[in-house]
Amino acid sequence: MSRRSRRPPRGAEPAAPGPSAGPSAGRFEISTGTAELVPDEYAPGSWVLHVNGVPSSHVDPEHPERLDFEYMRWIAALVDTHVGAHLDPGRLRVLHLGGGACSLARWVAHAYPAARQVVVELDGRLAELVRTWFELPRAPLLRIRVGEAREVTESLTPATRDVVVRDVFAGAVTPEPLTTVEFTRHVDRVLAPGGLYVLNCGDTRDLAGARAELAALSEVFEHVAAVADPAMLKGRRYGNIVLAASHAPLPLEGSPEAAALTRQLLGGAVPAQYKDEAWARSFAGGTPPRRDP
């Protein structure tokens, strides 16, 4: 997850680090506050990155295919399904809005070794530390671009990304400028034909944020879908709902593709449900989407 605070120069790149020195437990000053790297007591050799007191990323240096955060597993399942149906795995171009410790970017590099990725991270010092701590693919396979997510997205050339992942938070919520119809249109402009927009929506029990986000996605994209665990979908707690949107068809409930995706989602420690576009549009109902002022 990324935080919004002091704004770095537009398009800035983190200073080029030397070879990875490996992770080291401790608290570190970063551009937007404090980062703390903590060993995972339940998984020896793994690490949890806290940014300003909030768990932001989990990294297993020896196993990039392991995603400990459930919502990241859900994103990975959606990406796998969409790539298999609509995209060329040998020429995948992925934009990550929100960097943290690059857990999902490491997964993409493992699953799709030829993928070209850009991770947009607001905090330049954090980007430097992550490069120092963990073995990340080097440019051009993986570039970390320091900047604010919306500004960077607006600056990109049309139709140059196959997958856009949004995982940007200020505390417990996504900054509103990244949830509007206008921003969604910028993402749509950046996506190539058949591309996928997948986003992590943190929401409260009333699910008002997810409804508004689905309303914005439905105004821009032909197909929308959602993934979450049953308790979250029933409004019993605060948590994550992963949303997906594309102009290419997404799996419909009852199809072999949806069945395969459901089996994958049920296999995690927190079993999740896949909801197709009929459910997603009904769930959004008459909720108005957010718009730029």
Per-residue confidence (pLDDT) for residue 151, from 0 to 100: 98
Q: Which pLDDT tens digit goes with each residue over 257-273?
A: 999 999 999 988 899 99
How far, in Å, CA of 161 to CA of 158, rounded?
Answer: 8
Q: Which pLDDT tens digit goes with each residue over 74-131?
A: 999 999 999 999 999 999 999 999 989 999 999 999 999 999 999 999 999 999 999 9
- 246 pLDDT exceeds 60? yes
Which residue has tokens 């821009």? 220
Per-residue confidence (pLDDT) for residue 107, from 0 to 100: 98
Q: What is the CATH number of domain 67-284?
A: 3.40.50.150
Domain ranges of the chain: 67-284
Is the full-model pTM beyond 0.85?
A: yes
Helix (H, G, I), strand (E, B) or coil at 133: helix
Who has greater pLDDT, 209 or 5?
209
Per-residue confidence (pLDDT) for residue 16, from 0 to 100: 43
pLDDT range class, residue 20, cuts 50, 70, 90: low
Sheet holding 223-228, edge to edge: 142-146, 116-121, 93-97, 161-166, 191-203, 239-246, 223-228, 273-275
How far, in Å, CA of 6 to CA of 16, rounded?
Answer: 21
What residues have CB less than 8 Å from 210, skipping those under 6 apart? 201, 203, 226, 241, 243, 283
Q: Which pLDDT tens digit goes with each residue over 275-284?
A: 999 999 999 9
User: Rounded mean pLDDT of the chain?
Assistant: 92
Helix (H, G, I), strand (E, B) or coil at 243: strand
- 160 pLDDT exceeds 70? yes
Gyration radius of the chain over CA positions: 18
